[in-house]
Amino acid sequence: MLSQQDVPGAVDEVLRDFFATSTVALDTVSPTAAEAGRALDDFVLGGGKRIRPLFIHAGWQCAISAADRPPAAPSAQATEALMLRVGAAIELIQACALVHDDILDRSDTRRGRPTVHRRFERLHERLRWTGDGAHHGSSVAILLGDLALAWADDLVHGYRPTGDAPLPPPLPQAAGAAWSQMRTEVLGGQLLDITNEVSADESVDAAYRVMEFKTAAYTVARPLQIGAALASASAALSTDLRRIGTDLGLAFQLRDDLLGAFGDPAQTGKPSGDDLIAGKRTVLIARALADSGPVVADRLRALLGRPLSPDELADARTILTDSGAVAAVEAQITEHVDEAQSLIAGLDVAPTARADLTALAHRIADRQA
């Protein structure tokens, strides 16, 4: 059975094979479309931690080894290729989310490289095309994000844009339902995120709701649930994995909030203080605003959503620390991970499956990028 360590490489192989055939369909449209498709290929295969496929594998592994697994359920060998295909498909959903998120946040870099919309803005300028280069870059990136979303559904269901590949067996109904719910949740969570920013909703509750749907469900809870469904998990195991995934997903995003304010650009691939510059109303920011006095809170608000000098960035970070927000978020991360670990310990699955899920829990909570 495929080990956790082998999952990222195996998923990348599925993606390479998919891109190799799918870009042929774009070649029939035009060389320009094919070149844009290769940019998407480059973006997807040019980095990423493959966290979501790892959680799909973890859920699958738990279900394969569960004590309450139905005797007639398909074997690991029979479902492994399907698990990898779904893991690859979710990376295309991730690509869509990141490409569009970078436009919404006006980000210049991703993984230490120009974001997709900046890449095509620069191409427009280099070739001296007519019109607004920034608008062109954003337009191309929107369409490439849409293409990634469309290709994700093609891949998860076994279709190829060339239309010449035999169809594999369909997704189990429970996996297809969770896949559908996940796509709606992540887009709804993103909409809620940008609405909170413009409506000036600075409450911790609002920030938590964004986390729950934009990140926690899509990053951990649904992938665990989908992976388990691919191996015919029982309803009880699926429920337990969803609870575990929600706690770990919240811990993942809370760590991301800290990295977005304090992360090292050499490790995160993003500018220092990126979330502060973007003006994101994260739980970290919401707690700092709630726990500071009016004067300090107004000073922090004035530092959000614009370019910051080194001194201004240091001032914002000092407010986050002195308000107790950093310590509070670290405590929440620990609380969510401890709750998840307690539930993991109670799973009636193989020791290897339990150990791999535990290792993933620590990996997402303690990461520096």
pLDDT score at 47: 83
Q: Between 300 and 366, where is the model more confident?
A: 300
pLDDT of 142 strictly over 70: yes
pLDDT score at 162: 66
87 vs 223: CA distance, rounded Å:
8
161 vs 190: CA distance, rounded Å:
28
pTM of the model: 0.92
Burial 272-300 (b: 16+ CB within 10 A, else e): bbbbbbbbbbbbbbbbbbeebeeebbeeb
The conformation of residue 232, written as its DSSP 8-state character, comes to: T
Task: Report the run of H or E that residue 114 belongs to, with start and end.
Answer: strand 113-114
**Could you tell me how many helices (H) and strands (E) the chain has, helices first?**
17, 2
In the chain, the domains with their CATH numbers are 4-366 (1.10.600.10)
N residues, the chain: 369
**What average pLDDT does the segment 307-335 reach?**
96
Taking all residues of the chain, what is their mean pLDDT, rounded to a whole number? 92
**What average pLDDT does the segment 54-64 reach?**
97
